[in-house]
Amino acid sequence: MEQVGANRCFGGWQKRYHHPSSVLGCDMHFSVYFPPQAEGSSALPVLYWLSGLTCTDENFVIKAGAQRLAAELGMIIVAPDTSPRGDGVPDAPDGAYDLGLGAGFYVNATQAPWAQHYRMYDYIVNELPTLLQANFNVSSKAAIAGHSMGGHGALVIALSNASRFSSVSAFAPIVNPMECPWGQKALGAYLGDDKTAWQDYDACHLLRQQGAFLSLPIRVDQGMADDFLDSQQLTRPLEAVSVELDYPAEFHYHPDYDHSYFFIASKIDDHLRFHAHHLGLTDAP
């Protein structure tokens, strides 16, 4: 692993790393914010942030403004890339933004030509946490969050690995990819035509299947001026499932906010405080 960038930020460090990934079969970048407390001897909890379509590991760390409060809370934030990249990694043949590079959808692909490299689920769940534990002073406490496609990834990964995460949150997430155009295109390409294989990556299905056995804190924020709210069926289907199951997830709707990082930057502090409470960093959410 090689450090390729470092910027002093709110008394801590915003750093970027490069490493070869055995899971993805390519070199990967990820970004980490280390708050000032990371210079001490105590291991700190980690918030994983999963970004959306077309993003890299740098979008969130540059645009969201999360470092200020993370520095106060003593929270490490890890932002991986959204897909494998590099020579030999396949991309959408038509250059579409919603498949291939920048659009890994946090699944383990099973279909050619994607299966060799597109295993973002295993990368986030297994390889990246192991790398962090081996190289940094991080505790076993972790939370996960994301936006749009990354919100889908955060919800699916947390719901399938609830014992690994103290909490999960999402901004404008794709919650029912089996029933929306973005999800159907990606899951069909990466997983094939058998829709039973898609269910493992659909937050609505996973919550309905496992909700009775879970105590995972969930928070979702949605802008009401989001151009994709209806066309991609964001947020609302998961809220319907949570109401059906009487699952105590939090859903917050915000007039006039859209799908952009202006929305994320406006509400990121609420998410950091939500996770800090469940990670044991604060007494109150």
Residues 103-120: pLDDT tens digits?
999 999 999 999 999 999
pLDDT at 285 over 80: no
Q: Which CATH architecture has domain 2-278?
A: 3-Layer(aba) Sandwich (3.40)
The pLDDT assigned to 212 comes to 82
Share of the chain above pLDDT 90, in %: 96
Please report which confidence band the pLDDT of residue 84 belongs to, taking 50, 70 and 90 as the band edges. very high
- How far apart CA 69 and CA 63 sit, in angstroms, is 14
The residues annotated as belonging to the active site are 148, 226, 259
pLDDT band for 283, please (50, 70, 90 cuts): confident
Instruction: Look at residue 211 in the predicted model and tell me its pLDDT.
Output: 84
Whole-structure pTM over 0.95, yes or no? Answer: yes
**CA–CA separation, 75 and 69 (whole Å):** 9
pLDDT digits (tens, 9 = 90+) for 130-188: 999 999 999 999 999 999 999 999 999 999 999 999 999 999 999 999 999 999 999 99
How many CB atoms lie under 10 A from the CB of residue 262? 12
Does the pLDDT at position 85 exceed 80? yes
Query: Residue 3 has what pLDDT?
Result: 98
Element (H, E) at 219: strand 218-223
Structure tokens, 115: 């299966």
Q: Determine the average pLDDT of the residues in 179-202.
A: 98
Question: What whole-number distance in Å separates Cα of residue 180 and Cα of residue 188?
Answer: 12
How confident is the model at residue 163, as a pLDDT?
95
φ/ψ region of 43 (left if φ > 0, alpha if ψ in -120 to 50, else beta) reads: beta
CA-CA distances (angstroms) from residue 207 to 10, 66, 91, 101? 37, 28, 31, 28
Q: Which residues contact 178 (CB under 8 A, 6 or more apart)?
A: 184, 187, 195, 198, 199, 202, 204, 205
Distance (Å, whole) CA 202 – CA 241:
12
- pLDDT-based confidence at residue 231 (cuts at 50, 70, 90): very high
Look up residue 8 and give its two tokens: 């002093």
